[in-house]
Amino acid sequence: MSDVRAAARAWLAQDPDPDTQAELTNLIARDEAGDADAAAELADRFSARLQFGTAGLRGRLGAGSNRMNRVLVSQAAAGFAAYLREKAAPGTTPTVVIGYDGRRNSDVFARDSAELFAGAGLRAVLLPRLLPTPVLAFAVRHLGAAAGVMVTASHNPPDDNGYKVYLGGADEGSQIVAPADAEIAAHIDRVAAASVVADLPRGAYETADESVVQAYIAATATVAPASAGAAGMTWVYTAMHGVGYETLRAILHLAGYPEPTVVEAQIAPDGRFPTVAFPNPEEPGAMDLAFETARQADAEFVIANDPDADRLAVAIPDAAADGGWRRLTGNEIGLLLGWRAAARAAGEARPGASLACSLVSSPGLQTVAEHYGLDFHATLTGFKWISRAPGIVYGFEEALGYLVNPETVRDKDGISAAVAILGMIAEAREQGHTLADLLTQFQETFGFFQSGQVSLRVEDVSVISRIMAVLRAAPPAALGTVAVTRIDDLLTGVDGFPPGDVLRLWLADGSRVIVRPSGTEPKLKAYLDVRGETAADAAARLAALDAAARELIAAAQS
């Protein structure tokens, strides 16, 4: 415990934030007075360090090396700057663009980073105000930057924040992958070991003007300019207390779409997220206010972004659903948008054009690609992989992430995806059809695919690694009454995938189950995919597979 106390005191001595200073001072005093809870809290905060990886940094706000705070962010910025200087061509000055959302301390972390990048001899450009993550991803390419940083924790709980890193140049504004993550992490560790925050040089940064934002708005409006079917469209939008609406609204005006009825309680950025337990459209109850607003407005559909607007959720009226509204799954939206993209790519006769999705997303996208004579790529989860698929014209992952304009943004983009889905709805309305009709047409054309997910949220992330170890040591011979015919362990590398903590189970009836830890939350996830002869058959297969997967995870956990 003496090592933890020494680490805490050393951290306190360099902490520039009065709030976390006070928090840590109180914890140290309580620990020294014999408070066991304070001792345990200090151990949690200082016995480990929040690791920098391919998702950058993400964790709870608070003092300590295992939390998101100004000390940790300053060390990360200085380490990333050292990496960029090391990689830069001789005689050049790399540009880094920094963005931030509406979460607590996002603006503070962004300004710290900009000052430290400038102090390290880089050209640092801070976006003019809080903005969606896709605008930052766009700005990396638009400004010809060597790198970008977005301060956001996306849809994580209110007490979290994060640090997402992009690379320009040959990486074309995609998120980092190996070996860059490990190389950056090594630089950060060296800074943390050799420097105190007060001694890190700071400099003057630039603030980007509105032309960067306007360029994103103009480019995104071209994704799907409104057709005649957009006239009279009634719909509801929620920003989930995030930063999406101001930018989306400007795009709607430029593209010619009618404004939505907004969920007033959730439309302005608010890092407390007061109306939702988790600001994630996938979470139960998160869209309840949107559904209530839609009932009052007699809306045709609902669109939601997550707080940093890189994800998109869509809901439609459904008499069979609780409350009369049903949120479409990420796979349903992803397949519809893939259908749209494939038809356009085929019409343009683009050699080597491809569709891509993460390996846990619906296999239906491959069927769409084959139907139109396009290439198809399955990747590891995350848009850092999807965005790098050769020839990509469209990519998605089932967690409500869609890349619809890869020539503009090499990341998931919930705003451009919203424009694309509005375009599909408007075209359907011209023919007297609804979004529900499009889903039926997709099934009739490509088959009856259904997907589901079983999630286990844990307090202790070691539970997840134990479950994965049990499944590897004693893999199931069957799920329910259906035999398991093959198991792929991606830790060993399969089908050209980089090694990953993923198990893929193939069943005798053609169904598939993929088990993996979440990359951004303390969850174990099992992804279920079936294909039936009819919609009813697919639903029955999925229900049986869901029950079997839950039983498998429960047995491995016990």
Q: Which residues are catalytic?
A: 154
Rounded CA-CA distance 316/295 in Å is: 11
Strand 174-175, strand 160-167: pairing: antiparallel
- What are residue 379's phi and psi, to 5 degrees? -130, 170
Rounded CA-CA distance 23/8 in Å is: 11
Reduce the DSSP state of residue 17 to 3 states and report it.
Answer: coil
Q: At what angle do helices 330-348 and 435-446 cross, to 10 degrees?
A: 70
Rounded CA-CA distance 134/238 in Å is: 17
Reduce the DSSP state of residue 195 to 3 states and report it.
Answer: coil
- Cα atoms found within 13 Å of the Cα of residue 44, Cβ hemisphere only: 16
How far are the Cα atoms of 96, 108, 109, 117, 382 from residue 207, in angstroms, in the given order? 12, 14, 15, 13, 30
Rounded CA-CA distance 394/399 in Å is: 15
Q: Which of 341, 127, 149 is nearest to 215 (CA)?
A: 127
Reduce the DSSP state of residue 555 to 3 states and report it.
Answer: helix
Reduce the DSSP state of residue 517 to 3 states and report it.
Answer: strand
* Residues contacting 253, CB < 8 A, separation 6+: none
HEC profile for 107-170?
HHHHHHHHHHHHHCCCEEEECCCCCCHHHHHHHHHHCCCCEEEEECCCCCCCCEEEEEEEECHH
Find how far residue 417's CA is from the centre of its chain: 14
* Residues contacting 399, CB < 8 A, separation 6+: 282, 311, 330
Ramachandran area for residue 291 (φ above 0: left; ψ -120 to 50: alpha; else beta): alpha
Rounded CA-CA distance 403/416 in Å is: 8
Q: Which of 403, 511, 366, 396 is nearest to 450 (CA)?
A: 511
